[in-house]
Amino acid sequence: MQYEKILKSLSDRTRLRILYVLLKAKRELCICEIMDALALEHYNVSRHMKELKVTGLVKEQRAGKFILYTLAETKDKFINDIIGTIAVIPETEFKEDIGRLKKRLSLREAGRCVVGILKKCCNQK
């Protein structure tokens, strides 16, 4: 059942963080922006993005050398309710992620990521 897969995918904190960052960004994000916001390696983020795509929560689109991710638009009430529930999680729960996301988004030019993967971005250790 698809609903079980969705709920199971949300039991992982990293996937929950990814969805929260996508929600708060209110725009498409490239994988490097998600990596820097979460302070995680490419492999780790990529693996979780694959799971979120399979469940239908996230969609991807290629734009040149960048892969852009957004929350999937759907008429499925269950998925929309799940996204709505994630949206009301207090920002304090993901404070560091949101802080890094804001710093990372400030590097955009004309609303697009032009930087790629940064080794030391957004006060990462």
Task: Give the three-class secondary structure for 63.
Answer: strand
Residue 67 phi, psi dihedral angles, 5° rounding: -105, 125
Q: How much of the chain exceeds pLDDT 90, in percent?
A: 75
In a domain, 115, yes or no: no
In a domain, 46, yes or no: yes
Distance, in Å, from the CA atom of 117 to the CA atom of 125, rounded to the nearest integer, reads 15
In a domain, 113, yes or no: no
Most confident of 98-102, 105-109, 114-118, 121-125: 98-102
Let me know the angle formed at the C-alpha of 123 by 24 and 85, rounded to the nearest 5 degrees: 20
Q: Which residues pair with 29 in a beta bridge?
A: 69
pLDDT tens figures, 21-55: 999 999 999 999 999 999 999 999 999 999 999 99
Q: Containing domain of residue 25, as a range?
A: 2-105
In a domain, 73, yes or no: yes
What's the number of domains the chain is made of? 1
In a domain, 124, yes or no: no
In a domain, 114, yes or no: no
The answer to whether 96 and 125 are in contact (CB under 8 A) is no
pLDDT tens figures, 1-17: 688 999 999 999 999 99
Confidence of residue 119 (pLDDT cuts 50, 70, 90): low
Q: Which two tokens stand for residue 83?
A: 């996204």
| CA-derived radius of gyration, the chain | 14
pTM of structure:
0.88
CATH number at residue 95: 1.10.10.10
The answer to whether 45 and 38 are in contact (CB under 8 A) is yes
In a domain, 16, yes or no: yes
In a domain, 64, yes or no: yes
Q: Which residues pair with 66 in a beta bridge?
A: 63
